């Protein structure tokens, strides 16, 4: 990682957002405008916002990163909508029901990789929103997404051991969850069958609405760094996040909490690859009845609230 990127990560983890924004501004000033939204690059490597003003303008928010990134940064869309004349969000269609639960007047459009929407007065990539708005991670209300909870028994714990293929070091053998699944009422939040003694051995449905309903119904979610973590955090569910020794930039390995999600606790490997040690700490904490913070008013965290001003294109 280049020095500038390392400094930015250090600033973000230290919650020194003015320094992070200053570094982003310096980086933006050195970019060649001809490389903006460069079609020769994979979508996740593109930069979009060129610094132009968006107040009172038609804004197009492009969601070029993964589902988890879109869920994480969707918290800033209401603040953008309060300043822009109109906000269109070009996002994977499977996320539209969740994004429609945001308390903001948004137009949702499906993201077709082969035929992206034409530019608007101002285009931004969704992960650029905190810099563009100069907004801190905790600037939004929680929960900022809503879903109708599935019918699960009280005390159910959701388990997810599998991250994306792009970083296999984030995943571990599900057998490590066996002591938890044997001692607690659990479901798997992975879309494949499991031999763990869970309520849904056939696996979690791949459909986003069904997954969100299961997550919204859990009293606790224990997950690796993947979309499930962001979904649980955005829905306001208590979440224990299991991280490798050197995690992604958004998680501070020296901390046990995170400004990104107030109901999330971090469990970081003490040595690279030591998932067994992480799970041992989780099992220990599960034996303490005061460790799990449940929300008895589930409607405040998981219930779907429609937004009349949101509509879907296509």
Show the domains of the chain with their CATH numbers.
31-141 (no CATH), 157-301 (3.40.50.2000)
Residue 139 is predicted with a pLDDT of 86
Quote the CA–CA distance of 161 and 229 in Å, as a whole number: 11
Residue 291 is predicted with a pLDDT of 63
Quote the CA–CA distance of 28 and 313 in Å, as a whole number: 32
pTM of the predicted structure, to 2 decimals:
0.92
- Token couple for 18: 């003015």
Helix extents (H) in 140-295:
178-183, 208-217, 227-234, 275-286
Contact 278, 272 (CB under 8 A): no
- List pLDDT tens digits, range 275-313: 999 999 999 999 986 665 444 344 344 443 322 223 233
Asked if pLDDT for residue 159 goes beyond 70, the answer is yes
Quote the CA–CA distance of 229 and 215 in Å, as a whole number: 10
Q: What is the mean pLDDT of residues 37-49?
A: 96
- List pLDDT tens digits, range 168-214: 999 999 999 999 999 999 999 999 999 999 999 999 998 999 999 99
- Token couple for 113: 């990789």
Asked if pLDDT for residue 255 goes beyond 70, the answer is yes
What is the residue whose two structure tokens read 């930015």? 8
pLDDT band for 69, please (50, 70, 90 cuts).
Answer: very high
Residue 140 is predicted with a pLDDT of 87
Closest by alpha carbon to 63, among 87, 43, 91? 91
Measured from the Cβ of residue 1, the count of other Cβ atoms closer than 10 Å reads: 9
Asked if pLDDT for residue 1 goes beyond 90, the answer is no
The enclosing H or E element of 158 equals strand 157-160
Q: What is the mean pLDDT of residues 241-259?
A: 97
Task: Render 28-79 in DSSP notation, one character per residue.
Answer: HHTS-GGGTT-TTS-GGG-----S---TTSEEEEE--S-HHHHHHHGGGHHH
């Amino acid at each position: 990682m280049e020095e500038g990127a390392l400094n930015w990560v250090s600033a973000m983890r230290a919650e020194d957002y003015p320094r992070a924004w200053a570094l982003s501004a310096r980086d933006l000033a050195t970019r060649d405008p001809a490389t903006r939204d460069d079609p020769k690059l994979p979508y996740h490597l593109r930069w979009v916002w060129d610094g132009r003003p968006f107040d009172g303008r038609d804004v197009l928010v492009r969601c070029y990163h993964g589902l988890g990134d879109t869920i994480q940064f969707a918290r800033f869309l209401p603040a953008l909508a309060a300043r822009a004349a109109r906000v269109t969000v070009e996002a994977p269609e499977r996320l539209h029901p969740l994004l429609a639960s945001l308390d903001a007047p948004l137009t949702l459009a499906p993201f077709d990789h082969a035929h992206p929407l034409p530019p608007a007065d101002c285009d931004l990539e969704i992960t650029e929103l905190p810099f563009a708005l100069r907004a801190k991670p905790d600037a939004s209300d929680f929960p900022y997404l809503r879903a109708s909870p599935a019918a699960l028994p009280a005390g159910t714990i959701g388990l997810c051991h599998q991250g994306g293929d792009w970083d296999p070091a984030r995943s571990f053998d599900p057998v490590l969850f066996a002591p938890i699944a044997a001692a607690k009422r659990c479901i798997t939040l992975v879309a494949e069958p499991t031999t763990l003694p869970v309520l849904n051995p056939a696996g979690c449905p791949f459909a986003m609405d069904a997954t969100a309903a299961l997550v919204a119904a859990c009293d606790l979610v224990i997950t690796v760094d993947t979309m499930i973590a962001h979904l649980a955090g955005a829905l306001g569910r208590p979440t224990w996040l299991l991280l490798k020794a050197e995690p992604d930039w958004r998680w501070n390995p020296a901390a046990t909490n995170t400004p990104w999600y107030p109901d999330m606790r971090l469990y970081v490997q003490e040595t690279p690859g030591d998932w067994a040690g992480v799970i041992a700490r989780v099992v220990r904490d599960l034996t303490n009845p005061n460790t799990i913070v449940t929300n008895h008013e589930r409607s405040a965290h998981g219930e779907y609230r429609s937004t009349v001003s949101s509509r879907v294109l296509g």
